[in-house]
């Protein structure tokens, strides 16, 4: 009996804290999503009205969701390609390895306001990077380039983190596998494809899942660099929710939108859980 | 026996201390107020504490970091906390707080302190909800045209008094190889509402705007279509910053710096920049010899000075305050003409819309003093229009600034833009969410 009770006694503080800061606010969020709450004052129950509006009437929501999907497609490809390439190269480096790793990881630990502000200046068409190639337009000021420009800035801050994770995973691959590959006459690409990638696959797939979830939570870089503009071109769900909650006084509707993000995250996790059941190493 | 004596003495002392603490708490007349943790917030809040004349009341200032103090405060108020004296972006936001029962009714204090005599009538009305006063307007605001006086004198350009003259001036500025005006709006999406407010009132006319805000005229009226179409044309034509992409993305500081050195001839800005231009972008601090001045944006219907009126924020008292009388006393001091003039002079905070008599702003920059003098004269003649951030209900206002950029980007027609504004407005009008509109 003691063996059953004592561990739970130790867990009570963290469970209580979790209930207080996660479970209770989340339950409140679910409750408010069924109300017309304006962010202050009393809330009136309106059933599924918020969800009906979100799914069938609100074009802004659909547009924002599509931008989140574009964001996700960018982040499951570009930073992964950067990180896999970078970690493969760095895995072979012995002299100055720590310097390179630190330098590439550094942007990840900088506050987003710092990196976003740096990129705002880098993108300035009067004196920034575009002038180097004779481009005189503002990348953040055009509807067709703004989202990708912000994604690239965010990628610059993010890919070093992925690289370090992959590098750590690569160090767990037994060297004997590489020796065997060499004996079999494998070149660098074949080594990567047949030894390295299978060796780090659980980490890659786990990070794929996380990045897909994070893609629906993006807010800071876009809020700092464009605030959702120009002309709504970078308005993702996070920005739309912020506007609804704090500027339009539609906190109940914003809560419903937040619930939808949780549902997307749940679907992603379920898909990966399904693949795991089918024997994928995740 | 000795132990018992010590025990009872200790208990007695503890009881006495508890009673004293209780008595102190009952007599505690501290009034809390939040201010932004920046130079301006520190300046006005310390000035308030230093100049407050009553010694029986303590003002506790909490400097809050971050840029979104209003949202932080709203969350705190909703949770039953927050400061005794509260503020928000303006009447529309205060209306929401008052409707939620988070603000104290100020009618009794308005009578006690005679605020009706002190405020411009339209300004006091802005704080009323269903006839009762809940908030006081702060920071008199309007949007004007600043111009680089040195460049204008070098080029021999005159101040325009009509829209036609303004268009001719814009052509001349471009021929001289300069950009017509700043700023850019890459850092502040809602700030594009300044131009919409100006064009609705200065182009369509304040009477029509008043009728629309009181539900007597639809926003789809052809006068508003013409105003927004002209605005769209000048924005697309690159009047701001030289191109639409820079209008959307460049920063305020970048635009103001270019204005200061004379690469941009004019700046379409609010009166909140009066202090900043002199301090940061012109003359010795900015490393140039240029000077600035201002003129009121021309209209289509008069050559007299005309201004849109607005307030930058509104103040009220939290309904949860334990010291409402003391909080009202602090507000009364804050809204005295003497304190407002001092705050304007020392901290660069725009004065509240009070009735200023005599030479209250004698120590201020003459250009700034002239603005408030001419603003008062225009106001007396009824030559005033409406700022969207003070008079539009919250959701309609978000539509106004959020969707106008889609008009500029050709994603939305002017007619659809105004139809959408009308649709939002009708809903909020029906729900009674329109701030009080000063009668004309």
Confidence band of B31 (pLDDT split at 50, 70, 90): very high
Q: What is the mean pLDDT of residues B5-20?
A: 51
Query: Which tokens belong to B152?
Result: 């204008």
Task: Answer yes or no: is B297 within a domain.
Answer: yes
> CA nearest B393 in A: which residue?
A248
Residues B96-142: pLDDT tens digits? 888 888 999 999 999 999 999 888 877 888 888 888 999 999 888 89
Task: Give the strand pairing for B136-141 and B132-133.
Answer: unpaired
Query: What's the pLDDT band for B11 if we cut at 50, 70, 90?
Result: low
> Mean pLDDT lowest for which of B74-83, B316-325, B402-411?
B74-83
Structure tokens at A191: 């080594």
A113 touches chain B (CB under 8 A): no
Same-domain pairing of B303 and B352:
no
Arithmetic mean of pLDDT, B252-257:
92
CA distances from A161 to A84, A183, B16, B64, B241 (A): 11, 33, 61, 33, 38
My answer on whether B276 and B328 are in the same domain is: no
pLDDT tens, A97-126? 888 888 889 999 999 999 999 999 899 888
Q: Is B42 found in the same domain as B122? A: yes
In chain B, the number of structural domains is 2
Q: Which of A43-47, B8-12, B299-303 has the least mean pLDDT? A: B8-12
Q: A112-122 vs A146-170: helix axis angle to the nearest 10?
A: 130
pLDDT of residue A68: 97
Least confident of A76-80, B90-94, B304-308, B317-321: B90-94
Region at A235 (left for phi over 0; alpha for psi -120 to 50; beta for the rest): beta
Q: Angle at the Cα of A124 (from A119 to A126), degrees rounded to 5? A: 155
Q: Which of B440, B437, B439 is nearest to B429 (CA)?
A: B437
Domain co-membership, B243 together with B327: no
Which of B380, B396, B411 is where one domain is finished? B380
Chain A residues touching residue B247 (CB < 8 angstroms): 141
Contact list in A for residue B188 (CB cut-off 8 A) is: 227
Is residue B440 in a domain? Answer: no
CA of A154 to nearest chain B CA: how many angstroms apart? 17
> What number is the average pLDDT over the span A174-202?
92
B218 and B188 within one domain: yes
Q: Are residues B250 and B327 in the same domain?
A: no
**For residues A77 and B377, which has the higher predicted lDDT (pLDDT)?**
A77
Co-location of B393 and B274 in the same domain: yes
Model confidence at B25: pLDDT above 50: no
Q: What token pair was written down for A86?
A: 């970078």
Q: What is the CATH number for B392?
A: 3.40.190.10
Range of the domain at B194: 143-308+384-430
Residues of A in contact with B96 (CB under 8 A): 38-41, 249
For residue B202, being part of any structural domain is answered with: yes
Give CA–CA dist B283/B367, Å, rounded: 15
- Residues B261 and B316 both lie in one domain: no
In percent, the amount of chain A with pLDDT more than 90 equals 73
How distant is the Cα of B185 from the closest Cα of chain A, in angstroms?
Answer: 9
Q: Average pLDDT for residues A168-197, to the nearest whole number?
A: 92
- Chain B residues with CB under 8 Å of A229 CB are 185-186, 189, 248, 405
A241 forms bridges with which residues in the sheet?
Answer: none
Q: Where are the alpha helices (DSSP H) in chain A?
A: 2-18, 24-32, 49-52, 59-75, 78-92, 97-109, 112-122, 129-132, 146-170, 175-183, 188-191, 197-214, 220-225, 237-242, 251-277
Q: Does position B1 have pLDDT exceeding 60, yes or no?
A: no
Indicate whether B95 and B211 sit together in one domain. no
Domains and CATH numbers, chain A: 58-277 (1.10.3720.10)
Flag if B250 and A138 touch (Cβ within 8 Å): yes
Whether residues B177 and B135 share a domain: the answer is: no
User: Sign (positive/negative) of CA torsion A16, A20, A21, A24?
Assistant: positive
Put simply, whether A128 touches B (Cβ < 8 Å) is no
**Does the pLDDT of residue B20 top 50, yes or no?**
no
**Each residue's pLDDT tens digit, B51-80:** 999 989 999 998 887 667 888 888 888 888
Q: Is the pLDDT score of A184 beyond 50?
A: yes
Spatial neighbors of A28 by CB under 8 A, at least 6 apart, are none
Which pLDDT score, from 0 to 100, does residue B355 have?
Answer: 83
Is B348 a member of any domain? yes
Q: Which of B365, B380, B395 is the last residue of a domain?
A: B380
Chain B residues touching A130 at Cβ < 8 A? none
**Do B186 and B125 have their domain in common?**
no
**pTM to 2 decimal places:** 0.81
End-to-end C-alpha distance for chain A, whole angstroms:
35
pLDDT at residue B13, as a whole number? 52
What is the predicted pLDDT for the residue at B8?
Answer: 53
B120 vs B288, residue with greater confidence: B288
Q: Could you count the other beta carbons within 10 Å of the beta carbon of residue B98?
A: 25
Residues B172 and B315 in one domain: no
Greater pLDDT, B374 or A237: A237
Inside any domain, residue B415: yes
Mean pLDDT computed over A89-95: 85
- Which residue of B lies nearest to A240 if distances are taken between CA atoms? B402
| pLDDT at residue B23 in the model | 43
Which tens digits make up the pLDDT trace of A124-149?
888 888 888 888 888 999 999 999 99
In a domain, B21, yes or no: no
Kindly state whether residue B438 falls inside one of the protein's structural domains: no
Q: SS3 sequence, A73-104?
A: HHHCCHHHHHHHHHHHHHHHCCCCHHHHHHHH
Q: What is the percentage of chain B residues whose pLDDT exceeds 90?
A: 57
In the numeric block, the tokens 């590439």 are attached to A104
B402·A125 Cβ contact <8 A = no
Please check whether residue B90 lies inside any domain of the structure. Answer: yes
């Amino acid at each position: 009996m003691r063996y059953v009770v004592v561990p739970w006694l130790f867990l009570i503080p963290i469970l209580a804290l979790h209930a207080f800061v996660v479970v209770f606010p989340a339950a409140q969020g679910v409750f408010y999503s069924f109300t017309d709450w304006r962010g202050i004052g009393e809330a009136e129950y309106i059933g599924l009205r918020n969800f009906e509006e979100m799914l069938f009437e609100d074009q802004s929501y659909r547009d924002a969701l599509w931008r989140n999907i574009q964001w996700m497609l960018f982040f499951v490809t570009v930073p992964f390609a950067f990180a896999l390439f970078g970690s493969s190269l760095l895995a072979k480096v012995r002299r100055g390895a720590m310097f390179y790793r630190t330098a590439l990881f550094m942007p990840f630990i900088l506050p987003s306001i710092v990196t976003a502000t740096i990129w705002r200046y880098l993108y300035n068409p009067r004196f920034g990077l575009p002038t180097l190639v004779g481009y005189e337009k503002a990348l953040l000021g055009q509807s067709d380039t703004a989202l990708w420009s912000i994604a690239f800035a965010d990628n610059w801050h993010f890919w070093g983190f992925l690289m370090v994770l992959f590098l750590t995973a690569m160090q767990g691959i037994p060297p004997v596998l590489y020796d065997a590959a060499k004996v079999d006459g494998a070149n660098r690409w074949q080594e990567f494809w047949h030894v390295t990638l299978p060796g780090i696959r659980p980490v890659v797939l786990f990070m794929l899942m996380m990045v897909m979830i994070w893609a629906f939570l993006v807010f800071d870089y876009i809020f700092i660099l464009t605030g959702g503009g120009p002309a709504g071109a970078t308005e993702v769900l996070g920005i739309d929710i912020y506007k609804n909650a704090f500027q339009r006084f539609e906190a109940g509707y914003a809560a419903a939108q937040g619930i939808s993000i949780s549902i997307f995250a749940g679907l992603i996790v379920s898909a990966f859980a399904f693949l795991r059941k089918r024997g994928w190493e995740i | 026996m000795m132990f018992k004596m010590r025990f009872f003495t200790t208990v007695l002392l503890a009881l006495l201390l508890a009673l004293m603490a209780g008595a102190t708490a009952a007599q505690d007349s501290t009034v809390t107020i939040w201010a932004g943790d920046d130079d301006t917030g520190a300046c006005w809040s310390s000035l308030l504490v230093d100049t407050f004349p009553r010694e029986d009341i303590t003002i506790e200032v909490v400097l809050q970091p971050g840029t979104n103090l209003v949202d932080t405060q709203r969350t705190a108020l909703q949770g039953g906390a927050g400061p005794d004296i509260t503020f928000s972006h303006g009447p529309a936001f205060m209306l929401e707080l008052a409707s939620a029962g988070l603000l104290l009714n100020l009618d009794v204090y308005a009578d006690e302190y005679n605020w009706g005599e002190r405020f411009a009538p339209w300004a006091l009305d802005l704080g009323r909800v269903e006839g009762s006063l809940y908030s006081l307007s702060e920071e008199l605001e309007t949007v004007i045209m600043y111009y680089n006086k040195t460049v204008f004198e070098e080029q021999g350009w005159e101040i325009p008094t009509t829209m036609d003259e303004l268009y001719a001036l814009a052509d001349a500025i471009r021929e001289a190889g300069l950009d017509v005006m700043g700023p850019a709006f890459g850092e502040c999406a809602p700030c594009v509402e300044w131009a919409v407010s100006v064009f609705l009132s200065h182009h369509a006319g304040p009477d029509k705007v008043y009728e629309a805000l009181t539900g007597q005229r639809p926003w789809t009226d052809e006068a508003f279509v013409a105003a927004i179409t002209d605005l769209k044309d000048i924005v697309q034509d690159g009047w701001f910053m030289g191109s639409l992409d820079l209008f959307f993305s460049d920063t305020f500081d970048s635009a103001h710096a270019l204005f200061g050195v004379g690469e941009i001839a004019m700046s379409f800005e609010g009166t909140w920049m009066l202090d900043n231009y002199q301090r940061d972008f012109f003359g010795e601090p900015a490393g140039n010899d240029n000077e600035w001045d201002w003129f009121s944006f021309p209209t289509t219907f008069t050559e007299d000075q005309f201004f849109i009126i607005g307030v930058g924020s509104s103040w009220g008292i939290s309904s949860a305050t334990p010291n409402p009388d003391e909080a009202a006393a602090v507000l009364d001091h804050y809204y005295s003409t003497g304190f407002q003039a001092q705050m304007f002079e020392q901290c660069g905070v725009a004065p509240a819309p009070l009735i200023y008599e005599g030479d209250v702003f004698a120590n201020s920059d003459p250009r700034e003093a002239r603005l408030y003098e001419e603003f008062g004269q225009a106001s007396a003649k009824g030559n005033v229009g409406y700022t969207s951030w003070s008079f539009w209900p919250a959701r309609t206002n978000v539509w106004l600034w959020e969707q106008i950029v889609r008009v500029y980007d050709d994603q939305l027609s002017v007619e659809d833009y105004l139809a959408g504004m009308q649709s939002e407005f009708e809903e909020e009008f029906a729900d009674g969410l329109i701030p009080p509109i000063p009668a004309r």
